[in-house]
């Protein structure tokens, strides 16, 4: 894409639809007159009076405790300089957006039309009743230092100038890790800091707290190297003045180990970079354009560890990794400040996280196979879902131990769960199922092991103790994929049916298949040939107890995958085979069926499918509440589908009175229990919304789950195959690694439940 297009895209992004990037969203019901009278007059008077009696109740009855002000006067907006408060507003809205999506913190962005420190401080101080915290942003040095110092002294809520401390924390974490990778000691490295403003001074201070020696730091501003003999040197820059006989960046950079850029675009040339020591570290953090372009740096020095503030290159050293979680931790313990202890706790938590195995969702987001700690991955990616559960608790703990917290956190695991929930990362059910699977891991045979995603998933389930994988396929090919992707699958058995054809088990498998299918036209010779198909071979392993379950379907269509299982294993007596999807929604898990097998089930078949769904959901320790869906509510329409669903419900009520099931009903009534109760108080689904939805036909079930999945409303786990005598689970064509792992987990729990 040309630069010009990108510029237009950015403008369109901001202008299209509702202008800007953020909005205010009500958090309470506003459907009825009653709701409104509670939200506003007269009901609102009650919390007002409580708060008037005790100011702290503002945290209980208002949004204060989760509301941060992002405040700027637009004097140092990114590296764009003093572009005024209105000019800075898109950045401040952007920070608001990041606070929200990464830490569920609500933000009002406030752009102040003043360069006067007193006016700025007075205005912000007056806002204390409104906010739980203050994030100062893009205010130029030296005013930003005095503004922050005074506000910290005079306010009882946490105040942090993000360009100073957010940047210091992230680059500190990155520097620790870069030094380790480049085999340098922070205590010994020679650091050149280009820029002497808000970010540069605070970063240099934190590097010293982390071990760097002040005498090893040289700082440069627009006038060149900050030397002790400079006239009118202010105290802030004076802190880093040198008496070395150097005057320019060119002179300073020679033999330096580390370049820190917090100034302006393109000030470091390739030639200058060449003069740095072996294994240099370059953090060119000016935004939007770094002090040296990423490509130029890595082409000039192959031994460099290179980072920028941008998201389109590896190693984005940007305060977005910090401010959402630092404030999250501070707000959650009602900290009165963000102090040194909290900042250092954040540094170490971020640095440590970079060394942990990377979640598959992050690999996928960046389209990278196996992101690993190394020169191209020195700090976590901003989309890493673990940042909130690692950094926020570390900050909150440090606030408590350093004595600035006004609230305690008793149960840290529950706190982490709550953080995940905030971001909708809360697959409690999946986590419970994983925990259950880990109790008694099972042998899972993968029919398509000659595929990277399957091998990666196999590694994950083995690492996590969920399953013992067995790989089916060509040994050489599988081993090559393992090698190329540095996967750890040592000692995992690999079986190639083509190498098995003379073995007793192959004979046993083909004879068994022949016996089952001889009266359906199958010859022994054909049964022999079928067994080279890994779906037949894998299903036979399950049938003969050499594996506990089979996972397949990544590369073949559903029918082709399921047929061998039906031929080799078969269905439970009197059982109808059906497919169920588990949708992990923000409102909890919802099970949909049949989404994969029965095209247009009859009333009787719907009864069987409902019973299968009921049994499967109960096996997951969830009490099923089942709705049979249609376009009509309890007889409001007469049509083929409503009649079919209504009659199926009648049969279910007669035959299975213990099952909580009702219908026919429309989808919204099924999941909005208030609406259901108000309009149909006689319904069996009283008290809780339905968590199992039965569809009239394959079309509607399939459309529903795909729409939910694509609209980002829910993660789909499935299809979970119901009704087979032994566990075989069929993946969706092209499933992600995460989906495969989820499916294996379900399969293992399925095996366990059959053993009970």
- Tell me which residues are annotated as active site: 40, 95
Sheet containing strand 258-261, edge to edge, reads 224-225, 217-221, 191-194, 258-261, 281-284, 305-308
- Cβ 92 to ligand CC(=O)C(=O)O shortest distance, Å: 10
Residues 6 or more apart whose Cβ sits within 8 Å of residue 454: 446, 448, 471, 551, 554, 740
- List, in sequence order, every residue forming a beta bridge with 488; answer none if it has no partner: none
Pairing of strands 159-161, 626-629: unpaired
Residue 343: CB minimum distance to Mg ion, A:
17
Decide: 196 and 223 in contact? Cβ < 8 Å.
no
- In the complex, what is the shortest distance from the CB of residue 117 to ligand CC(=O)C(=O)O, in angstroms, rounded to a whole number? 20
- 682, 728, 731 from 561: Cα distances, Å: 44, 10, 9
The binder of 196, among Mg ion, ligand NDP, ligand CC(=O)C(=O)O, none, by C-beta within 5 to 8 A per type, is ligand NDP
Q: Which CB sits closer to Mg ion, 138 or 291?
A: 138
What CA–CA distance (Å, rounded) separates 511 from 498?
17
Which of 237/442 has CB closer to ligand NDP?
237
Please tell me whether residue 739 binds Mg ion under the rule CB under 5 A: no
- Tell me if 76 contacts ligand NDP by CB under 6 A: yes
> According to CB under 6 A, which one of 148, 163, 360, 384 is a site residue for ligand NDP?
163
564: left (phi over 0), alpha (psi -120 to 50) or beta: alpha
Sorted by sequence, the CB contacts under 8 Å of residue 246 that are 6+ apart come out as 218, 225, 227, 252
- Count of CB atoms situated within 10 Å of the CB of 709: 15
The answer to the question of residue 70 lying near ligand NDP (CB under 6 A) is no
- Among ligand NDP, ligand CC(=O)C(=O)O, Mg ion, none, the one that 186 touches (CB under a kind-dependent 5 to 8 A) is none
Given 106, 109, 111, 163, the residue binding ligand CC(=O)C(=O)O (CB under 6 A): 163
Query: Which residue, 70 or 268, has its beta carbon nearer to ligand CC(=O)C(=O)O?
Result: 70
- The CA distance from 756 to 753, in Å, is 5
Q: Cα torsion for 600, 601, 606, 610, to the nearest 10°?
A: -70
**Bond from prior residue into 643 cis (ω within 30 degrees of 0):** no
CA pseudo-torsion sign 191, 193, 197, 203: negative
Contacts of 88 (CB under 8 A, 6+ apart): 72, 73, 74, 77, 111, 137, 138
Q: Which residue is nearest to ligand CC(=O)C(=O)O (CB)?
A: 287
In the complex, minimum distance from the CB of residue 95 to ligand CC(=O)C(=O)O, in angstroms, rounded to a whole number:
8
Q: Which of 58, 63, 78, 296 binds ligand CC(=O)C(=O)O (CB under 6 A)?
A: 78
Q: Does 135 bind ligand NDP (CB under 6 A)?
A: no
CB of 138 to Mg ion, least distance (A): 4
Smaller CB separation from ligand CC(=O)C(=O)O, 168 or 539: 168
Q: Which of 724, 720, 726 is nearest to 746 (CA)?
A: 720
CB of 285 to ligand CC(=O)C(=O)O, least distance (A): 7
**CB closer to ligand CC(=O)C(=O)O out of 174 and 582:** 174
Provide the 10 A C-beta neighbour count for residue 272. Answer: 22
Beta strands in 203-244 (DSSP E): 217-221, 224-225
Interacting residue with ligand NDP among 66, 73, 135, 167 (CB under 6 A): 167
Give the residue with the Cβ less far from ligand NDP, 350 or 694. Answer: 350
Residue 562: partners with Cβ closer than 8 Å, 6 or more residues away: 577, 597, 721, 728, 730
Residue 163 touching Mg ion (CB under 5 A)? yes
Complex with Mg ion: residue 163 or 739, whichever CB lies closer: 163
380 interacts with ligand NDP by CB under 6 A:
no
580 binds, among ligand NDP, Mg ion, ligand CC(=O)C(=O)O, none (CB under 5 to 8 A by kind): none
Residue 686 binding ligand CC(=O)C(=O)O, by CB under 6 A: no
CB of 78 to ligand CC(=O)C(=O)O, least distance (A): 4
Strands 106-111 and 224-225: unpaired
Binding string, residues 121-140; x marks residues near Mg ion by CB under 5 A: -----------------x--
Burial degree of 623 (CB within 10 A; 0-12, 13-18, 19+): exposed
Q: Is 111 in the site for Mg ion (CB under 5 A)?
A: no
* Residue labelled with tokens 């730091």: 217
Nearest approach, Cβ of residue 196 and ligand NDP (Å): 4
User: Per CB under 6 A, which of residues 214..273 are in contact with ligand NDP?
Assistant: 220-223, 262-264, 267
Q: Round to whole Å and give the CA distance between 6 and 355.
A: 34
* Strand-pair category, 106-111 with 67-72: parallel
| Placement of tokens 């739980």 in the chain | 132
**Closest separation in Å from C-beta 225 to ligand CC(=O)C(=O)O:** 23
Tell me the three-class secondary structure of 279-347, residue by residue: CCEEEECCCCCCCCCHHHHHHHCCCCEEEECCCCCCCECCHHHCHHHHHHHHHHCCCCCCCHHHHHHHH
Tell which one of 194, 242, 363, 595 touches ligand NDP (CB under 6 A). Answer: 194
Is residue 293 at the binding interface for ligand NDP, with CB under 6 A as the rule? no
Binding site for ligand NDP (CB under 6 A): 76, 78-79, 140-141, 163, 167, 194-200, 220-223, 262-264, 267, 285-287, 309, 317-319
Binding site for Mg ion (CB under 5 A): 138, 163
Binding site for ligand CC(=O)C(=O)O (CB under 6 A): 78, 138, 162-163, 287, 309, 318-319
């Amino acid at each position: 894409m040309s630069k010009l297009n990108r510029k237009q895209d950015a403008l369109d992004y901001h202008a299209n639809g509702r202008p800007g990037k953020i909005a205010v969203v009500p958090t309470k019901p506003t459907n009825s007159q009653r709701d409104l009278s509670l939200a506003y007059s007269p009901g609102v008077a009650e919390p007002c009076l409580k708060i008037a009696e005790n100011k702290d109740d503002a945290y209980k009855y208002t949004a204060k405790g989760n509301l941060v002000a992002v405040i700027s006067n637009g004097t140092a907006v990114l590296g764009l300089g003093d572009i005024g408060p209105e000019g800075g507003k898109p950045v401040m809205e952007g920070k608001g957006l990041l606070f929200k999506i990464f830490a569920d913190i609500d933000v009002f962005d406030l752009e102040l039309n003043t360069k006067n420190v007193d006016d700025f401080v007075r205005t912000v101080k007056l806002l204390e009743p409104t906010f739980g915290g203050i994030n100062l942003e893009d205010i130029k040095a030296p005013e930003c230092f005095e503004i922050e110092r005074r506000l910290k002294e005079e306010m009882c809520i946490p105040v942090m100038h993000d360009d100073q401390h957010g940047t210091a924390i992230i680059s500190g974490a990155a520097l620790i890790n870069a030094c380790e990778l480049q085999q340098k000691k922070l205590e010994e490295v020679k650091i050149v800091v280009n820029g002497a403003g808000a970010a540069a001074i605070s970063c240099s201070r934190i590097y010293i707290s982390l071990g760097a020696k002040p005498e090893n730091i040289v700082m440069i501003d627009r006038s060149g190297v900050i030397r002790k003999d400079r006239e009118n040197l202010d105290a802030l820059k004076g802190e880093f003045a040198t008496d070395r006989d150097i005057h320019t960046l060119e002179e300073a950079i020679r033999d330096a180990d580390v370049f820190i850029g917090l100034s302006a675009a393109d000030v470091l040339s390739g030639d200058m970079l060449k003069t740095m020591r072996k294994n240099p570290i370059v953090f060119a953090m000016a935004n939007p354009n770094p002090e040296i372009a990423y490509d130029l740096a890595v082409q000039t020095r192959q031994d460099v560890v290179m980072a920028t503030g941008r998201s389109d290159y590896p190693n984005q050293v940007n305060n977005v990794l910090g401010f959402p979680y630092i404030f999250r931790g501070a707000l959650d313990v009602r900290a009165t400040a963000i102090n040194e202890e909290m900042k250092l706790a954040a540094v170490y938590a971020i640095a440590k996280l970079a060394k942990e195995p990377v979640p598959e969702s992050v690999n996928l987001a960046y389209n990278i196979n196996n992101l690993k700690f190394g020169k191209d991955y020195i700090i976590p990616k901003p989309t890493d879902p673990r940042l909130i559960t690692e950094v926020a608790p570390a900050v909150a703990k440090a606030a408590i131990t350093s004595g600035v917290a006004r609230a305690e956190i008793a149960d840290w695991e529950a706190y982490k769960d709550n953080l995940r929930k905030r971001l909708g990362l809360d697959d409690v059910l999946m986590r419970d199922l994983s925990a259950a699977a880990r109790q008694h891991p099972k042998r899972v045979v993968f029919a398509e092991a000659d595929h990277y995603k399957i091998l990666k998933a196999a590694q994950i389930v083995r690492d996590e103790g969920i399953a013992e994988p067995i790989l089916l396929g060509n040994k050489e090919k599988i081993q090559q994929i393992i090698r190329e992707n540095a996967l750890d699958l040592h000692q995992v058995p690999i079986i190639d049916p083509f190498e098995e054809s003379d073995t007793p088990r192959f004979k046993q498998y083909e004879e068994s298949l022949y016996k089952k299918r001889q009266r359906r036209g199958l010859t022994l010779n054909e049964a022999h040939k079928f067994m080279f198909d890994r779906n037949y071979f894998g299903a036979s392993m399950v049938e003969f107890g050499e594996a506990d379950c089979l996972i397949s379907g990544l590369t073949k269509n559903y029918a082709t995958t399921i047929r061998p299982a039906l031929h080799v294993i078969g269905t439970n007596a009197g059982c109808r085979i059906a497919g169920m999807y588990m949708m992990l929604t923000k409102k909890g898990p919802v099970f949909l069926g049949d989404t994969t097998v029965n095209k247009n089930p009859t009333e009787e078949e719907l009864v069987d499918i409902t019973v299968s769904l009921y049994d499967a959901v109960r096996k997951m320790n969830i009490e099923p509440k089942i709705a049979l869906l249609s376009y009509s509510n309890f007889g409001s329409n007469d049509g083929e589908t409503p009649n079919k669903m209504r009659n199926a419900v009648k049969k279910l009520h007669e035959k299975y009175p213990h099952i909580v099931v009702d219908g026919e009903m429309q989808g919204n009534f099924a999941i909005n229990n208030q609406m259901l109760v108000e309009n149909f108080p006689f319904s069996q689904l009283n008290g809780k919304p339905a968590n199992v939805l039965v569809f009239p036909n394959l079309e509607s079930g399939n459309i529903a789950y795909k729409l939910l999945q694509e609209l980002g409303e829910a993660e789909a786990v499935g299809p979970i195959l119901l009704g087979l005598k032994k566990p075989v689970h069929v993946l969706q064509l092209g499933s992600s690694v995460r989906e495969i792992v989820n499916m294996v987990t379900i399969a293992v729990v399925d095996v366990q439940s059959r053993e009970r």
